[in-house]
């Protein structure tokens, strides 16, 4: 996703500042230019907004992935990483289902 954001930034830079509609290798041509500079600015700004949106979305989803899911056993009150538990059951109690630590402290 970040690659698409950076690519969109590159295309917007080429459109706004260099008036290039397609970089070399795209559409089988060497370089295509916009006939009207106002079109270049408009398309460049649209590409820039798309790039900003993609960059923001990629960073937001990556941040969510990095957050560890920690759960706690309500019976023995030990905390565990949820990914390391067998079906969300406490390692010590074996039959007790763990709950999310944020939910546990919110309720208690």
Q: b/e string for 63-82 if b means 16 or more Cβ within 10 A?
A: eeeeeeeebbbeeeeeebee
Question: Taking 70 as the threshold, does the pLDDT of residue 68 lie above it?
Answer: no
pLDDT digits (tens, 9 = 90+) for 1-58: 788 888 888 888 888 888 887 666 655 667 777 788 888 888 889 989 999 999 998 8
Go through the chain and tell me how many residues it has. 108
- CA atoms of 2 and 22, how far apart (whole Å): 21
The domain locations on the chain are 2-66, 70-107
Would you say the pTM of this structure is higher than 0.85? no
70-72 and 99-100: which strand pairing? antiparallel
């Amino acid at each position: 996703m970040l690659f698409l954001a950076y690519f969109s930034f590159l295309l917007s830079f080429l459109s706004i500042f260099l008036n290039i509609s397609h970089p070399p290798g795209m559409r089988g041509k060497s370089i295509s230019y916009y006939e009207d500079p106002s079109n270049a600015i408009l398309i460049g700004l649209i590409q820039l907004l798309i790039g900003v949106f993609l960059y923001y979305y990629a960073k937001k989803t990556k941040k969510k992935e990095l957050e560890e899911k920690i759960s706690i056993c309500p019976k023995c009150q030990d905390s565990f990483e949820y990914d390391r538990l067998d079906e969300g059951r406490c390692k010590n109690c074996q039959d007790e289902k763990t709950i999310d630590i944020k939910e546990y402290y919110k309720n208690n």
